[in-house]
Structure 1
Amino acid sequence: MEQNQRICKKCLLKEMQESEYFHHLYDYISRLDADIKTDESKYQDRLERCKACDSLMNGMCRICGCFVEMRAVIDKNGCPHTTPKW
């Protein structure tokens, strides 16, 4: 990691501005090792299925509490629904 990058380790989500929070989320996703990430088309399909699910609320899964964009990007993860959507 570059020395000039500032990583906030003690911020709570409620303390961040919304745009800053999303920046951190997508920055984290972009830094994940490629060997654990799913391919882009599979990722987009997972997100579309999540968007159609009644358990999605404000980007979070109400079943497990995850941020669906984080869960869906990891290839080995699955949908936590009793009848999995993906």
Structure 2
Amino acid sequence: MITPTRSIAPDRALLSVGAQVLMQLDEPKTVSQTWAKLREWRAEHGYGSPVTFGWYVLSLDLLYALGAVQLVDELLTRRDANAS
């Protein structure tokens, strides 16, 4: 689930989806805006494996647990790698 397995394609693994989410966060965005950008980006780059909103939320949970994102004033932002 977090990493690719026999039943989870590499482009659907939560780490992969999380990386794709981080690529969309060039500036703070709402959760909805980030979801729309992610779907748009995946379509433009030919990713055929579906990612549901629930799977997207799980990737956000993983990114939050890893300290990679934070929610500030209802905006999703990348966390600085040096932040404590």
Q: TM-score scaled by structure 2?
A: 0.29
Higher alpha-carbon Rg: 1
Query: 1 or 2, which has the higher helix percentage?
Result: 2
Q: TM-score scaled by structure 1?
A: 0.29
Point out which structure has higher relative CO (alpha carbons under 8 A, 6+ apart): 2
